[in-house]
Each structure stands twice: as structure tokens, then as C-alpha cells.
């Protein structure tokens, strides 16, 4: 479960100005956008390796354009197309090239559905003829060019379609799609949320076939949310949501032959979940990944599209669970690169086209955090890792033979890279605790910096006029582990005084809040609280990420048990610090972190005096199958793991001050979680504060909502901590 936090994490360049020169940050400024970090627009590396394109918007005219730039000079070469050239001058918000880069797919009038899914009106622009045509006369989903650029497959109303560019004809591939029943080629809610996919179809490499998933949601229980809106009567939004232990969609794999217009079924063993379909270079094959319901046995199959036979390429097993990633890369001969935690840390492996392990390319007690790609010319792999400490990130290159490793980034902090298509250049994004985002151009082979592209010196200068405090990174020994920690103290910190402590955490499996980076969450607000005399601390406890498999998976079958124990132990230890007031300790969190803050206040009632929980899970029985069962198995198999850490089962433990907040339109962590907690506290005759934001989703934002929410939380802290 990923919480999409709403604030931009700004840890400020600390310049010792006299107090008279500085002012305090306000909540109104925080939400006005006055301190937004400048960043580069997303770039699309063109295949010639020399150029890239960017989607730009003219702030004065509102005209959107796709512009081409030169890597070596970073200068604009030409404008490829503008929104002035589309029918009705429709503004496009994203684009995609055909494989030969002769055509563009332009997305307009895009409307979001859930976290990743959307519908829109799409056009095809021919860069050679300058013709532009609309794909369909209605909103569609996930249009995708065929490898030869002559066709586009897309989803519409739960069916899959094929658009022929040359004559504009549309072929309906499936016809049984039905809302809340059958979905073809597009993921259902839980696959989208937990496997992070929307498009559930893939072309084979020569474009003769489309392989797709069919979701039969018939037996999946429905969840209904009241939508209050502005009309006289509210209405219910009903969608399929499989809660832990309930029925999932029955997912099957199918192949559509373009020439014959026929669909055939592909039978897969052990295919309770089918989280990935990936194209192989041999057009007769496509790869598919499957998982059992416990998600501790992942199989990678090669499917022969001539006879639909299946062969096993690789199997990953784990006593707890196996994570699904997008790191699979097929080389020209269909040997493949794969990442795995099988040696205790996430590393890169090379396998033959039959699945045989040829080489472990990276190794060590550190984690590969991003796989960037493979350069066939130099036979080198590029990746990001924690080799310089789990709170840092660096970019590396290494030969596919596992030799000649080279660190390409230099700054200590968080580095990430965007490579040109032929790996000649890369753009490095760097930040750390005291440096806002910087973008620089580098030669890949040497790592040498060629140009500075963009920095945020103006932001640093602006922030120097405010009362800000830097994060102090350290570790703290808790329950046999050295846990990463940061702390923010008031600007006028006096070690002889005692300060109230507010702890912040998320604590979800594989997550990280303690990172040496400029980008993060809620830190503006934490600076406001520090200026009011609070110390803010954050500790990543057991179950969080980037410190190896065993550290992350120790919480298996007992979500929030060990995590809660760690946060309570941290609070007790910090209370022993001479400058911490042991009688004024609070904790807050959102989503998983809200579950944690609630549990800490109840189970650590002798330690915490206050807690805020925003959009919390209060019982894993209420959360979705894929996420919850990955870490907990089913409620029938593990009832104690579910109930012993569910706070509405022990509301009588509440002693401190508690603020509970939820959005009524949360399709992810349903408001049911908070309603059950509220009822339990009421029946236990426990007083507390709560707020429900009508029709707001898991992020609780829109209009003045964020300002209102953070004002409420600020006042609650001031009044109770």
C-alpha cells in the first residue's frame, strides 16, 4: 500500500542568519505553492541517442507543444507538434511514440479513475504527413501502438479493440465485457492498486498477436461508497473490491491473432495471479509471470504463441513472499536480466534464454534500488543502489560479466539517472538533506559532467529568510537493530531545556522515510511545528526497506506488531534524552502510519500522550487481498495476526488524546476502518476527536481541504502536546 503524500519535502540549506532576518513559515504559505521545487519536465529519449523530446506548456498562451532537444547542447532543435494542430485545438497532457518514431499518440481530455487508471480522447499524429486522426469517438483506455506502428490496441467499456490507422476501421476483439463483471485487457481495481498495472495486454514483437488478461469479477464482493456531492440526493459508487480472504477475480490468459481475428486460450499452471506480461524478442513467444495466492512462489514462463504451450524459465520461492518488479529485460537472444532477493539483498542476475543462471552481476550487503537498462554496444548494465549507505542512492555501471563497476554519480545523497536511448548520455538528478534538486548532463562512459541544466538556488535563497532547521541523521539501537533516524530541532534549540516530542512514521513493508534527499513528505509542516518549539523525529523500524530481506520480512504474518514495538521503544529511549520532556510525547501517521500511530497510543499508553491517525487501516480484514495476504496470509489461516493488532479490539486502552481523520470517498482504505474505530471508542466511553472529509479520497485534498486538515492537526498538537 503506497501512500501518495501531498507535501513536497524540503530540507533547507542552513544559513546562519540573525533571527531578525528570518520569519516563520505559515500554513497558508505552505499550501499556496510558494515553495515548490523546480524540476525538469519528463523527457523521452529518442532512439538516435542524440535527441530527446519534452512536453512544454506556454504559460502565457496555454499552448502545449512537444519539442525536440539536443543532448550535447541541451538546446531546442524544433517543435514536433503543438495543441494548435489538434482538432478544436485540444490540449494534450501526455504522448507516446510509435516504435519507429514516425507517429505520436496524443492524450487529451483525460479523466482519472483510480490511482493509475484514466480515460481520455486520443489522437494519432503522423510526423511525416502531418495528418492527425482521432482513434475513437469516445473515451478510451491504454491505447498502445503495434510494433510496426500501423495499428493501435485499446480498451473501452471493459472490452478490447483494434484500430487500423490506414483506413480508420475499428475491430472489436472481445464482446463480453461488462461493468463489475468481465474486464478484458484492463486491470481490475486490486491489480491496479497492488501490482501497479492498468494495461493488461501486450503485443508480440512482430505485431501479429495480442496477449491479454481477462478478469472475471463475478464473484468478487462489491463495495459501495456514498457520494454526497452537491445534488439533493447522494448516490452510491459501487465497485468490486476483494477484501482479505474473499474471492478475487478469476484471471485467464488469451491470445488474439490479428490475421484470423480469432482468440485462443492459454492454460497456465499455478496462475492464481498473473501480474506481468512482457514481450520477448522472438515473435513466437511472450513471457508471463504467475503467483500463487500466498505470493511466495513466482514463476516466469515463456508462452509459445504458435501452439500456446508453456515452458518454465525461472522460479522464485520465499518463506514469506516474493515481490513483483518491472526489472525483467530480454536481450537480443532472449537471455534475460532479472533482479532477486535470493541471496538476502536485491541484486541483478543474468539468465540464459532457457532460464539457466549464467551470472550474478551485483552482490554485497546492499540493495539494487532501480534497474535502468542494458547497453548492448558496451555490454554494460546501469542501476541505482544503496552501496553508500541505506539512506543514500548512487548510479553505477557494470559489465554484464560483473566486472569494471564504476560509480557514475558523485554527490552524497540521492542520485537518479535518465539515460539517452543509446546510453551515450545521462541526466543526473541529485539532492540531499541540504541541497535541493539539481539536474546535470553527463557522459555515461566516463561519468564526466558536461553541463549544469537546472538547480534550485532561488528556492534556497528564499528559504534562507525563514526560520528553518536541518534534519540531523543518526541511528538508534532498538530491539537488537541499528535503526535509521532523523531529528528536527527548533532553530533556537537549547540543550538545557526540555521539549515536547512528535514522532512521524509510515512503517509499511519495504518503505523508507529516513532518506538523505530533498524530496519527501510533510517536512514543511514539520518545520512549522519545530518553529513552535517541538522536536520532530522519524525512525524506520523493522519491516521497512533497503536493509536486506530479513530486516524487511521479519514482520511477516504480524503486520504492525514489531513495528509498533519499535516505535514505542524509540519513544521510551528518546524520552531519556536530557532535552526531551518524557511527559509530552506524540506520534502521527497516514494510512499504514495511521494504523501505527493508533496502535502506539493504545499499546504504548504509558509512553505516548497524543496521536493523530489519518486514513488509517484499523483491521487488515478490511484491506484488499493482494496487499494484505502477501504479508498476512488469509484471515482463516492467521486469525491472531489479524485481530491481535487491530486497535478497535482494545479501545479500552486509550488514555491519551486522539485525533482520527478520514475521507469518506477513500476507495483504498475505506472509511469503514475509521467508522469501526469510532464505534469501538464510543462503546468503550472513550473521548476523542475526529473529522470526516466528504467525498475526499485517500489523499484528502482539493480546494482548501489540505489547509483545513493541517490547520486542524496543528491546533490539535498545540492543544494536547
- Per-residue pLDDT tens over the stretch 608-643: 999 999 999 999 999 999 999 999 999 999 999 999
Count the Cβ atoms, other than its own, within 10 Å of residue 143.
23
Separation between Cα atoms, residue 637 and residue 626, nearest integer Å: 15
Pick the last residue of a domain from 305, 324, 343. 324
Find out whether 363 and 340 touch, Cβ atoms under 8 Å. no
For residues 396-432, b (16+ Cβ closer than 10 Å) or e, as one string?
bbbebeeeeeeebbeeebbbbbbbbbbbbbbbbbbbb
Separation between Cα atoms, residue 40 and residue 378, nearest integer Å: 28
Please say whether the dihedral angle defined by the alpha carbons of residues 226, 232, 233 and 238, taken in this order, is positive or negative: negative
pLDDT tops 60 at residue 519: no
Mean pLDDT lowest among 19-28, 599-608, 625-634: 19-28
Q: Is 548 part of any domain?
A: yes
pLDDT digits (tens, 9 = 90+) for 59-93: 899 999 999 999 999 999 999 999 999 888 989 99
Report the candidate in 106, 86, 92, 85 with the shortest Cα–Cα distance to residue 57. 92
Tell me, what's the pLDDT at 18?
A: 38
Separation between Cα atoms, residue 498 and residue 496, nearest integer Å: 7
Q: Is 408 part of any domain?
A: no
Find out whether 464 and 448 touch, Cβ atoms under 8 Å. no
Find out whether 600 and 568 touch, Cβ atoms under 8 Å. yes
pLDDT tops 50 at residue 13: no
Q: Is 23 part of any domain?
A: no
pLDDT tops 70 at residue 3: no
Q: What is the mean pLDDT of residues 308-312?
A: 97
Instruction: Tell me the pLDDT band of 410, cut-offs 50, 70 and 90.
Output: very high
Instruction: Give the structural domain span for 270.
Output: 173-324
pLDDT digits (tens, 9 = 90+) for 208-231: 999 999 999 999 999 999 999 999
Find out whether 595 and 613 touch, Cβ atoms under 8 Å. yes
Here the cell at position 436 is 535541493
Q: Is 675 part of any domain?
A: yes
Mean pLDDT lowest among 22-26, 343-347, 397-401, 683-687: 22-26
Q: What is the mean pLDDT of residues 584-613?
A: 98
Mean pLDDT, the chain, integer? 94
Name the residue with higher pLDDT: 113 or 19: 113
Report the candidate in 691, 672, 522, 687 with the shortest Cα–Cα distance to residue 593. 522
In terms of Cβ atoms closer than 10 Å to its own Cβ (0-12, 13-18, 19+), residue 113 is middle
Here the cell at position 555 is 514482520
Residue 391: what are its φ and ψ, rounded to 5°? -95, -5
pLDDT tops 60 at residue 5: no
Cell 498502445 -> residue: 144
Q: What is the tally of structural domains in the chain?
A: 2
Please say whether the dihedral angle defined by the alpha carbons of residues 199, 205, 208 and 209, taken in this order, is positive or negative: negative
Q: The domain that contains 280 carries what CATH number?
A: 2.140.10.30
Separation between Cα atoms, residue 423 and residue 49, nearest integer Å: 7
For residues 79-105, b (16+ Cβ closer than 10 Å) or e, as one string?
ebbbbeebeeebbbeebebbeebebbb
Separation between Cα atoms, residue 620 and residue 632, nearest integer Å: 9
Q: The domain that contains 665 carries what CATH number?
A: 3.40.50.1820
Pick the last residue of a domain from 297, 324, 351. 324
CA distances from 671 to 387, 587, 663 (A): 41, 21, 7
Pick the last residue of a domain from 324, 348, 365. 324
Strand partners, 472: 487
Amino acid at each position: 500500500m503506497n501512500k501518495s503524500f501531498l507535501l513536497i519535502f524540503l530540507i533547507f540549506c542552513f544559513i546562519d542568519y540573525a533571527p531578525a532576518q528570518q520569519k516563520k513559515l505559515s500554513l497558508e504559505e505552505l499550501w499556496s505553492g510558494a515553495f515548490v521545487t523546480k524540476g525538469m519536465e519528463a523527457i523521452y529519449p529518442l532512439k538516435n541517442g542524440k535527441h530527446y523530446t519534452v512536453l512544454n506548456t506556454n504559460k502565457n498562451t496555454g499552448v502545449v507543444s512537444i519539442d525536440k532537444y539536443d543532448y550535447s547542447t541541451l538546446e531546442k532543435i524544433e517543435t514536433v507538434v503543438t495543441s494548435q494542430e489538434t482538432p478544436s485545438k485540444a490540449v494534450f497532457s501526455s504522448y507516446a511514440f510509435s516504435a519507429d518514431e514516425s507517429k505520436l499518440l496524443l492524450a487529451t481530455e483525460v479523466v482519472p479513475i483510480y490511482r493509475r487508471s484514466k480515460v481520455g480522447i486520443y489522437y494519432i499524429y503522423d510526423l511525416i504527413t502531418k495528418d492527425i486522426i482521432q482513434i475513437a469517438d469516445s473515451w478510451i483506455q491504454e491505447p498502445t501502438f503495434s510494433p510496426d506502428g500501423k495499428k493501435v490496441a485499446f480498451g473501452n467499456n471493459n472490452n478490447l479493440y483494434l484500430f487500423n490507422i490506414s483506413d480508420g476501421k475499428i475491430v472489436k476483439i472481445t464482446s463480453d465485457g461488462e461493468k463489475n463483471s468481465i474486464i478484458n485487457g484492463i486491470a481490475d481495481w486490486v491489480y491496479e492498486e497492488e501490482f501497479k498495472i492498468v494495461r493488461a495486454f501486450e503485443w508480440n514483437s512482430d505485431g501479429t498477436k495480442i496477449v491479454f488478461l481477462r478478469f472475471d469479477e463475478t464473484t468478487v464482493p462489491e463495495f459501495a461508497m456514498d457520494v454526497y456531492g452537491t445534488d439533493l440526493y447522494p448516490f452510491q459508487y459501487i465497485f468490486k473490491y476483494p477484501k482479505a480472504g474473499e474471492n478475487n477475480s478469476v484471471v485467464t490468459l488469451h491470445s488474439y491473432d490479428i490475421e484470423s481475428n480469432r482468440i485462443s486460450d492459454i492454460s497456465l499452471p499455478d496462475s492464481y495471479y498473473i501480474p506481468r506480461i512482457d514481450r520477448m524478442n522472438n515473435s513466437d513467444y511472450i513471457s508471463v509471470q504467475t503467483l500463487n495466492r500466498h505470493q511466495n512462489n513466482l514463476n516466469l514462463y515463456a508462452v509459445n504463441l504458435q501452439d500456446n504451450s508453456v515452458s518454465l524459465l525461472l522460479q522464485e520461492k520465499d518463506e514469506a513472499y516474493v515481490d513483483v518488479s518491472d526489472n525483467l529485460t530480454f536481450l537480443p537472444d532472449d537471455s534475460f536480466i532479472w533482479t532477486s532477493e535470493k541471496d538476502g539483498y536485491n541484486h541483478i542476475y543474468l539468465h540464459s534464454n532457457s532460464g539457466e543462471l549464467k551470472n550474478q552481476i551485483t552482490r554485497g550487503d546492499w540493495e539494487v534500488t532501480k534497474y535502468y537498462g542494458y547497453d548492448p554496444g558496451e555490454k554494460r548494465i546501469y542501476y541505482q543502489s544503496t552501496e553508500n549507505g541505506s539512506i543514500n542512492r548512487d548510479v553505477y555501471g557494470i559489465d554484464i560479466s560483473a566486472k569494471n563497476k564504476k560509480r557514475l554519480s558523485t554527490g552524497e545523497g540521492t542520485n537518479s539517472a535518465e539515460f539517452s536511448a543509446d546510453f551515450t548520455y545521462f541526466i543526473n538528478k541529485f539532492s540531499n538533506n541540504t541541497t535541493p534538486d539539481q539536474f546535470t548532463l553527463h557522459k555515461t562512459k566516463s561519468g564526466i559532467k558536461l553541463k549544469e541544466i537546472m538547480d534550485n538556488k532561488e528556492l534556497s535563497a528564499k528559504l534562507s529568510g525563514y526560520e528553518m532547521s536541518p534534519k540531523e541523521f543518526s541511528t538508534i539501537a532498538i530491539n537488537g537493530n541499528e535503526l535509521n533516524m532523523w531529528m528536527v530541532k527548533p532553530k533556537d534549540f537549547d540543550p538545557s531545556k526540555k521539549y515536547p516530542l512528535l514522532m512521524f512514521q509510515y512503517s509499511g513493508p519495504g518503505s523508507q522515510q529516513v532518506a538523505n534527499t530533498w524530496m519527501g513528505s510533510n517536512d514543511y509542516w514539520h518545520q512549522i511545528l519545530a518553529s513552535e518549539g517541538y522536536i520532530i523525529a522519524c525512525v524506520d523500524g523493522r519491516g521497512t526497506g533497503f536493509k536486506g530481506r530479513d530486516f524487511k520480512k521479519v514482520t511477516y504474518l504480524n503486520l504492525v506488531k514489531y513495528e509498533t514495538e519499535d516505535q514505542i521503544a524509540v519513544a521510551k529511549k528518546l524520552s531519556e534524552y536530557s532535552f526531551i520532556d518524557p511527559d509530552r510525547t506524540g506520534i502521527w501517521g497516514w494510512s499504514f502510519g495511521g494504523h501505527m500511530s493508533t496502535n502506539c497510543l493504545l499499546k504504548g499508553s504509558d509512553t505516548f500522550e497524543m496521536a493523530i491517525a489519518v486514513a488509517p487501516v484499523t483491521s487488515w480484514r478490511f484491506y484488499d487481498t493482494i496487499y494484505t495476504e502477501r504479508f498476512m496470509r488469509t484471515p482463516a489461516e492467521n486469525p491472531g495476526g489479524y485481530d491481535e493488532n487491530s486497535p478497535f479490539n482494545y479501545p479500552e486502552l486509550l488514555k491519551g488524546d486522539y485525533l482520527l481523520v478520514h475521507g469518506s470517498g477513500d476507495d483504498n482504505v475505506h472509511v469503514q476502518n475509521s467508522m469501526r474505530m469510532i464505534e469501538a471508542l464510543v462503546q468503550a466511553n472513550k473521548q476523542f476527536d475526529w473529522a470526516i472529509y466528504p467525498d475526499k479520497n485517500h489523499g484528502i485534498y482539493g480546494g482548501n481541504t489540505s489547509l483545513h486538515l493541517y490547520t486542524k492537526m496543528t491546533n490539535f498538537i498545540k492543544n494536547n502536546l
